[in-house]
């Protein structure tokens, strides 16, 4: 025989587990220091310029 559970408590427990997952996700996305955000921004800019520098343009795309 299975145990009897209180549905209200189980619903609250599941909600708290889900909220904890959401909180962890938000901490990863938004819980960074200004220095970390700036470092990420600079790294993205560096990679973008590096990629843009390696693009190959054909003469057909110039519009001449």
Say if 64 falls within a structural domain.
Answer: no
For residue 49, being part of any structural domain is answered with yes
Q: What is the structure's pLDDT at 61?
A: 59
Residue 24: inside a domain, yes or no?
Answer: yes
Q: How many domains does the chain have?
A: 1
Mean pLDDT of the 22-47 span: 91
For residue 62, is pLDDT > 60? Answer: no
Q: Domain for residue 40, yes or no?
A: yes
With 70 as the cut, is the pLDDT of residue 59 above it? no
High-pLDDT (> 90) share of the chain, %:
56
Q: What pTM was computed for the model?
A: 0.45
In a domain, residue 42? The reply is: yes
Q: Whole domain around residue 46: which residue ranges?
A: 7-55
Nearest Cα neighbor of 10 from 45, 58, 2, 43 is 2
Q: How far is CA 4 from CA 10, 12, 20, in A?
A: 11, 16, 26
Residue 2 lies inside a defined structural domain of this protein: no
Token look-up 């973008």 returns 48
CA gap 44, 37 in Å, rounded? 11
- What confidence category does residue 55 fall into, taking pLDDT thresholds of 50, 70 and 90? confident
User: What's the pLDDT at 5?
Assistant: 87
Residue 1 lies in a domain: no
């Amino acid at each position: 025989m299975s145990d009897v559970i209180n549905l209200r408590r189980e619903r609250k427990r599941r909600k708290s587990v889900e909220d904890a997952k959401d909180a962890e996700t938000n901490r990863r996305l938004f819980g960074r220091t200004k220095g970390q955000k700036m470092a990420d921004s600079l790294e993205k800019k560096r990679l973008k310029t590096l990629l843009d520098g390696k693009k190959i343009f054909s003469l057909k795309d110039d519009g001449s």
